[in-house]
Amino acid sequence: MTMKQWEVVIGIETHAQLATRSKIFSGSSTDFGAPPNVQASAVDIALPGVLPVLNRGAVDCAIRFGLAVDGKIAARSVFARKNYFYPDLPKGYQISQYELPVVVGGEVTIQMGQGDSLTEKTVNLTRAHLEEDAGKSLHEDFHGKSGIDLNRAGTPLLEIVTEPDMRSSAEAVAYAKALHALVRWIGICDGNMQEGSFRCDANVSVRPAGQRELGTRREIKNLNSFRFMQQAIDYEAQWQIAEIEEGRPIRQATVLFNPDSGETCAMRSKEDAHDYRYFPDPDLLPLVIDLDWIEKTRLSMPELPAHKRDRFIASYALSTYDAATLTAALDVADYFEAAVAVSGAGSAKICANWVTVDLAARLNKEGRDIAEAPVSPIQLGGLVARIADQTISNNIAKKVFETLWNGEGKSADEIIEQQGLKQITDGSAIETLIDGVLAANAPMVAEFKAGKDKAFNALVGQAMKAAKGQANPQQVNALLRKKLGEV
């Protein structure tokens, strides 16, 4: 068989650390970066006689997520003990949810393709359930031994599980990015993948094209990079195909991805649910969520990305691509709308270009988030307004933007006035300027007359240089062509 005769089937399990100040069953801090084992209380490590108390804020986060994905929020859900041994699991079990999770179903829409040829696909969710995180094993600086840091033990997690709906690594990455943006958008997770706040496991199997029965899956654990996710899934799928074609069966396993070698490697055989001996936690009552709680949470929700994207298209006449780019993150969408409020809805396209191109490029270059941008949305909106009414050209606008970026705290209007940057739009002034350029560049004029189109661009450059970049480019082009036709 060839690669084209195989179909890859992917499901994703994501652990999102919830943005609460304290842990899910104790008052211990969830701050990242504290010295090892200073934030693990008696409750977190289940010392005799302690009792867990559920963090209401973690439940609020779960409700917000359920509303965002249009899932069913359970009126009654149950916490269970998931029993297994691991060095960084101090209790010997993990408090999680199994048979009755807090959120059932839901969906996340992903977008594939580029530009205005974007296509959409729905990834269905199986469930989202609350649980506590384990500690962390440390393998460096211990002279061949390992250390255990229990600070993370008890940190609230929302585990989000998809149906096996994805058919390529590109779709899996698109889903992971969409989910990452969503949990940040609704304020339930900071999404910091380097700190482990957002971790994905990919369940990968292959089957002959056209077959309905699923193949044997292998789970790639702890993918904390979108790039590594794509590489890991591609390698794993190709490895499974090669194994099957060589007549070797795939055995269910948990595997790790090595980014240095680009390969996956089996860590242990994969457990099934019955291996964990789930049973309801005797120390925790069922979680009951009434309709009033859900409705109060609904009222506190921000406008969701899909709604905002559709509104941007309808209200600002933006392309699907521009609207999707601007709504990839809430802070970017908010920045854009604040800028448009100043520049005017009629200049929304110009504003979108500045936010997604010029501003984004400068932020990426300096490694800043948009919240750290030295140019405020009010300042950028003022700059765009002056481009829209032709007070300044795009080239001059870049100079004004540079001044704004350097943090002088002035408005675009103040900079334009103080530096004398207003665009020359007076037809007679531009005509006089062009007459001087033509007189001083007779050889270029002759080249243009001889059919060399590049000479025209050179003459435009000379005209703009003479005007110190302040002449209206459209007027310069039009008047220059007119004058050359008369020469």
Q: Which distant-in-sequence residues (6+ apart) come within 8 Å of 462 by Cβ?
A: 437, 440, 441, 444
Alpha carbon distance 347, 26 (integer Å): 51
Whether residue 51 is found in the same domain as residue 141 = yes
Structure confidence at residue 366 (pLDDT): 95
Whether residue 273 is found in the same domain as residue 325 = no
Neighbours of 459 (CB within 10 A): 24
Mean pLDDT rounded to a whole number for the chain: 90
From 295, 315, 331, give the residue that closes a domain: 295
Structure confidence at residue 271 (pLDDT): 65
CATH of the domain at 454: 1.10.10.410
CA dist list (Å): 128 to 61, 103, 158, 162: 11, 5, 6, 9
> Of 309, 303, 302, 307, whose CA–CA distance to 118 is shortest?
309
Segment 478-482 shows an average pLDDT of: 77
Choose the most confident range, by mean pLDDT, from 103-117, 255-269, 271-285, 356-370. 356-370
In this structure, is residue 255 part of a structural domain?
A: yes
Residues 185-201: pLDDT tens digits? Answer: 999 999 999 999 999 99
Residues 14-60: pLDDT tens digits? Answer: 999 999 999 999 999 999 999 999 999 999 998 999 999 999 999 99
Whether residue 166 is found in the same domain as residue 98 = yes
> Of 315, 338, 316, 312, whose CA–CA distance to 325 is shortest?
312
Residue with the bigger pLDDT between 297 and 459: it is 297
Token look-up 């077959």 returns: 211
Whether residue 85 is found in the same domain as residue 147 = yes
Structure confidence at residue 475 (pLDDT): 76
From 392, 419, 446, give the residue that closes a domain: 419
Structure confidence at residue 29 (pLDDT): 97
Whether residue 141 is found in the same domain as residue 195 = yes
Indicate if the pLDDT at residue 466 is higher than 80: no
Whether residue 469 is found in the same domain as residue 387 = no
Segment 317-332 shows an average pLDDT of: 94
Q: Which domain holds residue 337?
A: 303-419
Whether residue 129 is found in the same domain as residue 149 = yes
Whether residue 206 is found in the same domain as residue 354 = no
Indicate if the pLDDT at residue 426 is higher than 70: no
Residue 427: which pLDDT band, with cuts at 50, 70 and 90? Answer: low
Q: What percent of the chain has pLDDT above 90?
A: 72
In this structure, is residue 1 part of a structural domain?
A: no
Whether residue 126 is found in the same domain as residue 238 = yes
Structure confidence at residue 365 (pLDDT): 95
Structure confidence at residue 461 (pLDDT): 76
Structure confidence at residue 421 (pLDDT): 81
Residue 239: which pLDDT band, with cuts at 50, 70 and 90? Answer: very high
In this structure, is residue 206 part of a structural domain?
A: yes
Q: What percent of the chain has pLDDT above 70?
A: 94
Whether residue 118 is found in the same domain as residue 57 = yes
Is 331 in a helix, a strand, or coil? helix
Is 137 in a helix, a strand, or coil? strand
- What's the number of domains the chain is made of? 3
From 251, 278, 295, give the residue that closes a domain: 295
Whether residue 281 is found in the same domain as residue 378 = no
Range name among 3-7, 39-43, 230-234 with the lowest pLDDT average: 3-7
Amino acid at 235: Y
> Of 413, 414, 420, whose CA–CA distance to 469 is shortest?
420
Whether residue 271 is found in the same domain as residue 385 = no
Structure confidence at residue 1 (pLDDT): 45
How much is the pTM? 0.85
Q: Check residue 5 and give left, alpha or beta (phi > 0: left; psi -120 to 50: alpha).
A: alpha
